[in-house]
Amino acid sequence: MDDSLFYSPTEGELTFAQVLAEIVELMNHEPQGQYEIVVGTDCHDTPVAEEFNRHRLKKAPPMEFVTAVIIHRLGKGGRYFWRRVREENIYTLRQKIYKEATLSFELARRLMRELAAQTMLEYNLEIHIDVGKHGRTRELIDEVVGYIRGSGFAVKTKPEAYAASSVADKYA
């Protein structure tokens, strides 16, 4: 996973280490609280191979993916951070959705590993994927949800996937 910068509405630009420190500080402020950490990714523009062929383009334009991390202290609000990464060679909706899921999975795995090393506080971690029972992504739900669940993470889809479909979508 790259070390692209994160952004916070309250703190501005942050490194991954600074985001982690903000999460740990929030959790340590009220150690008996219940916490959820949620990760989700979104990307606008879904170019498909047929469109590139029609325009005789040799290469897909780069796509920008936004991944959001939300720390929610249940009943007390929360904070979020987001980062933008650029990816190339995404031609189909399936590739786009899998890239979104993979970016979320990689960040969630890194967060979990780093949090385990820094705190003994308990939290629930889940991944939100931008697929739903309606629309073009309905055919991908079972396989993408299986990919995330098979990796050991809880997963939510639309309309409950607010990290991807609301927070990340806001900056995508």
Q: List per-residue pLDDT tens for the chain, 172 residues long.
A: 567 899 999 999 999 999 999 999 999 999 999 999 999 999 976 455 456 555 656 677 788 999 999 999 999 999 999 999 998 888 788 999 999 999 999 999 999 999 999 878 889 999 999 999 998 899 999 999 999 999 999 999 999 999 999 999 999 8
Residue with tokens 């607010």: 162
| In-domain check, residue 67 | yes
Please give the residue range of the domain that contains residue 149.
6-171
Domain count, the chain: 1
Three-state SS string over 94-134 comes to HHHHHHHHHHHHHHHHHHHHHHHHHCCCCCEEEEECCCCCC
| In-domain check, residue 76 | yes
| In-domain check, residue 63 | yes
Whole-model pTM? 0.90
| In-domain check, residue 154 | yes
| In-domain check, residue 1 | no
| In-domain check, residue 122 | yes
| In-domain check, residue 83 | yes
What single DSSP character describes residue 17? Answer: H
| In-domain check, residue 149 | yes
